[in-house]
Amino acid sequence: MSPLDAVLDELVERIVTAVVARLEGNGGSRPPAEPDHLLTLEEAARRLGVSTGWLRRHARGLPFSRKLSHRVVRFSSTGIAKWLSRTGSGVLRGPEKPRPASTIRGRGPRQDPP
């Protein structure tokens, strides 16, 4: 076997591996641990810890919302989990990330009178 044959065999193995990974549909990665479920407005609001009104108003800008029809919007459970796991999602703030004090004069945090 010549060195050229060895190189060609290696190349064929790499091509076959790449084609099989593409044909599997998920790039050869493992399937997700939990299947994705579409949540109703109430379920998603409960999971996010926000009101249903807030979620309805902001649904268009959230990456995990899915519009099924003119009136029906659902929310991806795995999308919500990924969004919440990111640091600094920017919209929801927990007690560890309070809103900054106002920069408008006289509008800082309220203080109790002495």
Tens digit of pLDDT for each residue in 38-81? 999 999 999 888 899 999 999 988 999 999 998 899 999 999 88
**Which residues touch 78 (CB under 8 Å, ≥6 apart)?**
32, 34, 36
Task: Tokens 């996010």: give the residue.
Answer: 48
Structural domain contains residue 42 = yes
Confidence class for position 16, pLDDT limits 50, 70, 90: confident
Q: What is the pLDDT of residues 94-107, one digit of tens each?
A: 555 555 555 555 55
16 within domain boundaries: no
Q: Is residue 62 part of a domain?
A: yes
Range of 74's domain?
A: 34-86
Is pLDDT larger for residue 30 or for residue 64?
64
The answer to whether the CB of 77 falls within 8 A of the CB of 66 is no
Tell me, yes or no, whether 54 lies in a domain: yes
Residue 110, pLDDT score: 57
Answer yes or no: is 111 within a domain.
Answer: no
Q: HSE of 64 in the Cβ direction (CA atoms, 13 Å)?
A: 22
| Total number of domains constituting the chain | 1
Query: Would you say residue 50 lies in a domain?
Result: yes
Does residue 81 form part of some domain? yes
User: What is the DSSP code (8-state) at residue 91?
Assistant: S
Residue with tokens 């549909």: 25
The whole-model pTM stands at: 0.50
- The answer to whether residue 22 sits within a structural domain is no
pLDDT of residue 17: 86
Report residue 112's pLDDT band, with 50, 70 and 90 as the boundaries: low
* More confident site: 20 or 68: 68
